[in-house]
């Protein structure tokens, strides 16, 4: 059987695409109106976008126009994915002899010219991706090479799809329901929360009592509510946002986010509200909004539009309205939001198995500072 030959340009494209998808966790991006280019994205990489450009570019004018168009498309992707910075690695496969200056006009993007596989080891890409030479070296030839590349990419995509399915699939929100049940039970026990002294007796957050040693109030207050309207709105909010956060982070991480968000809100309230009596789950619920913001930012390639259209407007609206309505513990909301973001930052989502020392350190410094302000200052 005659061996099928694949031209040099296709070998380079398949090698690079295979490497970035299977080894560097990049995903293809669909860019409408673009031909002879492959766009890949990885929101966690220093170079969030990689372009593999296979079309023939004859001279510097065509190259400059190509870079200009790339920057315009990148600007749209930045808005879509809620990214503040998006560095691009442009890989050109077919440049004419009249192209004399391939270097970028700024320090943000990098452009390289790869005319054969061996050029990969001579380019700046080896500095960015140290293992690229080893991982793009294949013994297979012809159709065997094509089949291997295709199979590897399919296996990688299947793993990614299973991970995304695990994260985004709907699960039974057991912890959310348990928290709601505890809040409703305490609402009944405290006589619907109409008596302030009863709420204090059962664990309302009061600055002077917390400072005197009753630190348990930083947890118990988030399960108490003052009146039917108060508990209705909080339980409705928890019913809406709780299951999503529990899906994205898993049950035990969700519980930790909820508790630490409530503690963060309680500590900031004690620090800035003095001896005001504070009850309610809203600080912890704002922490869940913070967890959604953190999750949305890290998975903005999947739900970037939802951050801007749904999550952010709800958070901003609830924060702003708290400044104009009396009786709302605004600092508890702010503390809960910050606590939710930082706890999520420390724990990571449901797929994270390892914890970064720097993330834990930031979390400990924040809570240590709050404890100092609320109790020891």
Catalytic residues: 282, 333
245 is written with which tokens?
Answer: 């956060």
> How would you classify residue 33: left for phi > 0, otherwise alpha for psi between -120 and 50, otherwise beta?
left
CA distances, 206 to each of 156, 215, 267, 301, 329 (Å): 53, 10, 10, 43, 12
25 is written with which tokens?
Answer: 């966790």
Strands (E), 217-263: none
CA distances, 8 to each of 11, 12, 115, 122 (Å): 5, 6, 8, 17
The single-letter DSSP state of residue 205 is E
Contact (CB, 8 A) for 350 and 304? no
Q: Which residues contact 271 (CB under 8 A, 6 or more apart)?
A: 331, 370, 373, 374, 377
Taking the C-alpha atoms of residue 286 and residue 297, their distance in angstroms, rounded to an integer, is 17
Angle between the 251-273 and 330-347 helix axes, to the nearest 10 degrees? 140
CA distances, 137 to each of 11, 15, 131, 228, 373 (Å): 11, 8, 10, 67, 58
CA distances, 295 to each of 85, 97, 222, 269, 350 (Å): 18, 47, 23, 26, 10
Q: Which residues contact 108 (CB under 8 A, 6 or more apart)?
A: 85, 87, 88
């Amino acid at each position: 059987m005659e061996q099928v030959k694949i031209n040099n340009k296709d070998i380079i494209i398949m090698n690079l695409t295979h490497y970035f998808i299977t080894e560097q966790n990049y995903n293809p991006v669909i860019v409408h109106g673009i031909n002879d280019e492959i766009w890949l994205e990885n929101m966690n990489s220093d170079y969030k976008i990689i372009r593999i450009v296979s079309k023939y570019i004859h001279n510097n004018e065509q190259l400059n126009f190509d870079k200009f168009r790339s920057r315009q498309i990148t600007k749209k992707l930045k808005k879509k994915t809620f990214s503040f910075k998006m560095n691009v690695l442009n890989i050109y496969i077919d440049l004419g002899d009249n192209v004399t200056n391939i270097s970028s006009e700024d320090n943000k993007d990098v452009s390289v010219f790869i005319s054969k596989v061996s050029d990969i080891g001579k380019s700046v890409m080896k500095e960015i991706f140290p293992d690229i030479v080893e991982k793009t070296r294949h013994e297979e030839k012809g159709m065997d090479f094509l089949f291997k590349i295709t199979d590897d990419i399919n296996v990688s995509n299947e793993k990614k799809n299973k991970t995304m399915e695990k994260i985004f699939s709907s699960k039974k929100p057991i912890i959310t329901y348990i928290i709601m049940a505890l809040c409703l039970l305490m609402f009944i026990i405290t006589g619907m929360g109409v008596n302030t002294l009863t709420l204090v007796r059962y664990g309302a957050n009061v600055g002077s009592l917390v400072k005197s040693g009753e630190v348990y109030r930083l947890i118990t207050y988030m399960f108490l509510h003052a009146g039917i309207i108060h508990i209705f709105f909080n339980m409705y909010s928890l019913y809406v946002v709780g299951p999503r956060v529990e899906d994205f982070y898993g049950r035990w991480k969700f519980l930790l986010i909820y508790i630490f968000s409530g503690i963060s809100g309680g500590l900031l309230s004690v620090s800035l509200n003095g001896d005001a009596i504070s009850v309610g789950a809203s600080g912890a619920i704002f922490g869940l909004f913070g967890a959604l913001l953190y999750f949305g930012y890290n998975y903005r390639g999947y739900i970037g539009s939802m951050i801007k259209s749904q999550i952010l407007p709800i958070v901003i609206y609830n924060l702003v309205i708290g400044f104009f309505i009396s009786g709302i513990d605004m600092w508890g909301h702010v503390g809960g939001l910050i606590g939710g973001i930082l706890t999520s930052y420390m724990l990571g989502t449901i797929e994270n198995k390892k914890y970064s020392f720097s993330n834990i350190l930031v979390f400990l410094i924040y809570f240590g500072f709050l404890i100092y302000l609320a109790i020891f200052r």
